[in-house]
Amino acid sequence: MSAEKITTQKVNFKVFRFNADEDYLPYYENYTLDVTSEDVVLDVLNKIKWEHDGSFSYRRSCRHGICGACAIKVNGRSTLACKESMTTMIEYFGNDITLEPLSTKRAVKDMIIDKGDFWEKHAAVTPYLVADIDECPSCENLVSPHDAEELNEADLCIQCGACHYACPVVEINSDFFGPAAFAAAYRFEADVRDNDGDRLINVNEEKQGVWDCVKCFECAEVCPKEINPIEKITKLHQMAFKRGVAKNNVATRHAVGFLHSIKKHGVLDEGGLVLYSEGAHIVKHIPVALQMFRKGKIVMPWNMPKSDNLDEIQKLIKSSSTVKF
């Protein structure tokens, strides 16, 4: 235990309440509670249930940050209730704290949500090892420490769903697998023993796949286990190119287009990139392009700026490229 003295302060909580069986609409209940410097968010949930309203509902099991059951949102920030210190939350947000489920629209009862879409997507990425292993092997299937490092700790995910419900694309595109499912897909794609050929193709498909990630880093920010799902998404992009399963479509051309542009100009040729990525579909961009042109926002090909010492850049591209498309 720390030698520091335990302090107590009053905190105002605004707590999301809803019972899908009885209520038409959710509402918020206010509680002012004494919070000690030792409390985690789960202690607050317990206080509400034990001291104020026995019907207040939330999930928890391990109280050690390993079961993933207790994830909720504190002032819009997803977190594990059993791991998050209230002192940190007060430092972050002051003494007015709002407690909500990970996704209010999926609420079943108070903090408890229907995580069905999360599990469906998890299941859709083949989240297990696919390997032809001798039923009675003469020795274990060894994985070297070096190969194990390739997982980049993706195997530490506890499926709490914090990243999934913080991801803006999950809310807009219902097909999108979401950051946790991608992290799971990566975990097995990066495993040297795995030989499933379809998973990587599946997570690279348009609509559901990694290419629709907007790169907002919400998932990296939020993950209580520091899995950094967007890093795994980036690696799934790279794997698709390296293993030759990247399809020739607008998303992949958009990534590769940067290389072509940099090779030619050092800087990005914005118009050239759109043309290369879209091909004939470029026509749909013409109305906006015309507006931009009128406002002096389009540089003509003959006026394209170039980086100084372009020869250096070209030389480096030649010597440092590691992928071919």
Partner 1 sequence: MKKLKYALFTGCTAKQSTPEQMMSTLAVARKLNIELIELTEASCCGASHLQDYDDFLSLVLNARNIAYAEKHGLTMVTICNTCQLNTAMTKHRLDKNPELKAKVNEKLAEVGLEYKGTSNVIHFLYAIIDDFGLDKIKEMVVKPLSQFNIAPFYGCHNIRPSELHDESHKQKENPYKPTSLDDLIIACGGKNVDYEEKNKCCGFHVELQAPHTAAVLTGTAIAGATDNNADMMVTPCPLCHLKLDTQTKSASEAIGREVSLPVLHMQQMVGLALGCTPAELGLQHHVTDVNFI
Q: Residue 221: which of 16, 38, 76 has the closest Cα?
A: 76
State the CB neighbour count (10 A cutoff) for residue 230: 24
Q: Which residue has the tokens 């009053």?
A: 10
Task: Indicate whether 279 belongs to the interface with partner 1 (CB under 8 A).
Answer: no
Q: Is 243 in the site for partner 1 (CB under 8 A)?
A: no
Contact 166, 78 (CB under 8 A): yes
Nearer to ligand SF4, 163 or 251 (CB): 163
Nearer to ligand FES among residue 14 and residue 63 (C-beta): 63
Partner touching 229 among partner 1, ligand SF4, ligand FES, none, CB below 5 to 8 Å by kind: ligand SF4
Q: Which of 84, 211, 225, 229 is close enough to bind partner 1 by CB under 8 A? A: 211
Q: What 3-state class would DSSP assign to 21?
A: coil
CA–CA distance, 52 with 81 (Å, rounded to integer) = 19
Residue 297 interacts with which of ligand SF4, ligand FES, partner 1, none, CB < 5 to 8 Å by class: partner 1
Of 17 and 122, the one with the shorter C-beta distance to ligand SF4 is 122
The dihedral built from the CA positions of residue 174, 179, 185 and 189, taken in this order, carries a sign that is: positive
Q: Which does 278 bind (CB under 5 to 8 A by kind): partner 1, ligand SF4, ligand FES, none?
A: partner 1
Answer yes or no whether residue 65 interacts with ligand FES by CB under 6 A: yes
Residues of the shown chain interacting with ligand SF4 in the complex, contacts defined by CB under 6 A: 157-163, 166-169, 179-180, 183, 213-219, 222-223, 225, 227, 229-230, 233
Does 297 contact partner 1 by CB under 8 A? yes
Distance, in Å, from the CA atom of 223 to the CA atom of 235, rounded to the nearest integer, reads 18
Which helix (H) or strand (E) covers residue 73, if one does?
Answer: strand 71-74
| H or E stretch covering 43 | helix 41-47
Element (H, E) at 234: helix 229-242
- Distance CA(189)–CA(195), nearest Å, equals 8
Binding site for partner 1 (CB under 8 A): 75-77, 92-93, 168-169, 172-173, 206, 211-218, 220-221, 228, 234, 237-238, 241, 249-252, 254-256, 258-259, 261-262, 266-268, 270, 274, 277-278, 287-288, 291-292, 295-299, 305, 307-309, 312-313, 315-317, 319-323, 325
